Amino acid sequence: MFKLVTHNRHKYEEMRKIVPGLKMVDMEYPEIQANTLEEVVDFSLEYLSKVIGENFIIDDSGLFIEALNSFPGVYSAYVFDTLGNEGILKLMEEKERREAYFKTVVGIRFEGINYKLVGICHGKIAEEPKGENGFGYDPIFIPEGSEKTFAEMSTEEKNRVSHRGKAIIKLAGFMERFGVH
């Protein structure tokens, strides 16, 4: 069985609904500054393979807002800690187009080889924060086809349409194919 290396328990709770036996290693690790989530994941997998060993996964995610030229994107963690949801909504004042997407890159280290699985969820930035569930940018993101923000959804509802849900369904397929139990 894989171990998820993360400092974010919410990610683990979401993933566990789809891959029940998943373990969590609570750990913060250095992330490089790069232009894509994929590059960040490549670096982290190499770094962590020296610390954790084999057969673990990581999740690097970001929110990409069209009217802000994809900001906060790869800077999502730093921007959440500094500006937060209120800061993002301020930047979005007077913006007519509110399209955005969430992207998750799940990095897998399996028997000495690195793999990456991607999940994307398109939607828009809400006019105001709503909901108490989830974490991070969930109160200000409304996925396509919904009236509710992620924070107004249960974990199961979010997983059905979310970036992470899609990546984890692919992970379940990967585990099936490679016989990881």
Q: Which residues make up the interface to ligand ITT (CB under 6 A)?
A: 6-8, 11, 59-62, 76-77, 80, 102, 134-138, 150, 162, 164
CB-wise, 27 or 172, nearer to ligand ITT? 27
Least separation in angstroms between residue 104's CB and ligand ITT is 7
Q: What are the CA-CA distances from residue 138 to residues 10, 48, 115, 151, 163 (Å)? A: 11, 28, 27, 5, 12
Whether 161 contacts 153, CB under 8 Å: no
User: Which token pair is 97?
Assistant: 């187009």
Check if the beta carbon of residue 134 is closer than 8 Å to that of residue 161: no
Q: Give whichever of 75 and 179 is closer to ligand ITT, judged by the CB atom.
A: 75
User: CA dihedral defined by 11, 12, 15, 17, rounded to 10 degrees?
Assistant: -120
Nearest approach, Cβ of residue 74 and ligand ITT (Å): 9
Asked if residues 179 and 172 have their Cβ atoms less than 8 Å apart, the reply is no
By C-beta, is 33 or 176 nearer to ligand ITT? 33
If DSSP codes are grouped into helix, strand and coil, which group holds residue 45?
A: helix
Active site residue 60: yes
Phi, psi of 81 (to 5 degrees): -70, -25
Considering the candidates 26, 42, 59, 60, report the single residue annotated as catalytic.
60
* Closer of 12 and 181 to ligand ITT (Cβ): 12
**Nearest distance, CB of residue 179 and ligand ITT, angstroms:** 26
Say how far apart CA 11 and CA 91 lie, in whole Å: 26
Cβ 64 to ligand ITT shortest distance, Å? 11
Select the residue whose beta carbon is closest to ligand ITT and give its number: 136
Q: Catalytic residues, which ones?
A: 60
